[in-house]
Amino acid sequence: MPLMDGWQVLNEIRKTHDTPIMMLTALDTDVDKIHALRNGADDYIVKPFNPAEVSARVNVILRRIQFHSADKNTSVYSTKNIYINIENHQVKIKISGEDIGDKLTSTEFKILTHLIRYPKRVFTRQELLEHCLPENDANERTVDSHISKLRKKFWQAGLLNVPESIRGFGYRLGD
């Protein structure tokens, strides 16, 4: 690959996405296989390979994704510091036990629920704008304003630096 090698591609994808990755490569040492699997590859196949085996392995990954995607339809999410029940509009800060759900605007709640579904993923302002304010004429700075207000409410409940800023990219919920 001219611009990046497979290891760099793997690292870049894993920084922001949970997309399944199957590596097809000529690198056949155990060190390479272990390195790939430890750094986020879902499977590692060495050339030459049997197309039927690759197909079977792809099907296994797809089955696993379908099983886990059912979990994404849940209405309850939890991280180390936050518990959210979407149906009840409950946002509980675990440190203080305070429920701040009734203090959040609908937009703040949308942003928070979007972030908690993928707590380690970094979302750009544009992505948050598209997912949480799709019908609005807002710009990216509007997202900054909502994040700032959300942080203030978390801070008042005893939780600092949530959501987390990733300089030059966007925001994530973190742990």
Low-confidence ranges of the chain (pLDDT < 50): none
| Per-residue pLDDT at 18 | 74
User: Cis ω on the peptide bond leading into residue 163 (within 30° of 0)?
Assistant: yes
**Is residue 24 within a helix (H) or strand (E), and if so which, with residue range?**
strand 22-25
| Per-residue pLDDT at 79 | 87
| CATH 3.40.50.2300-classified regions of the chain | 6-71
Alpha-carbon gap, residue 33 to 37, rounded angstroms: 6
- What dotted CATH number matches 76-172? 1.10.10.10
Question: pLDDT of 61-100, one tens digit each?
Answer: 888 776 555 555 678 888 888 999 998 899 999 888 899 9
In the structure encoding, which two tokens stand for residue 123, read together?
Answer: 């979302």
- Using alpha carbons, select from 69, 67, 72 the residue that is nearest to residue 114: 72
| CATH 1.10.10.10-classified regions of the chain | 76-172
Quick count: other Cβ atoms within 10 Å of Cβ 163?
A: 22
| Per-residue pLDDT at 72 | 55
Contact criterion met (CB below 8 Å) for 100 and 83: no
Contact criterion met (CB below 8 Å) for 131 and 146: no
| Per-residue pLDDT at 63 | 81
Q: Going by C-beta distance under 8 Å and a sequence separation of 6 or more, which residues neighbour residue 23?
A: 6, 10, 36, 41, 43, 44, 45
Q: Which CATH number fits domain 6-71: 3.40.50.11890, 3.90.1150.10, 3.40.50.2300, 3.20.20.70?
A: 3.40.50.2300
Q: What is the pTM of this model?
A: 0.59
| Per-residue pLDDT at 171 | 95
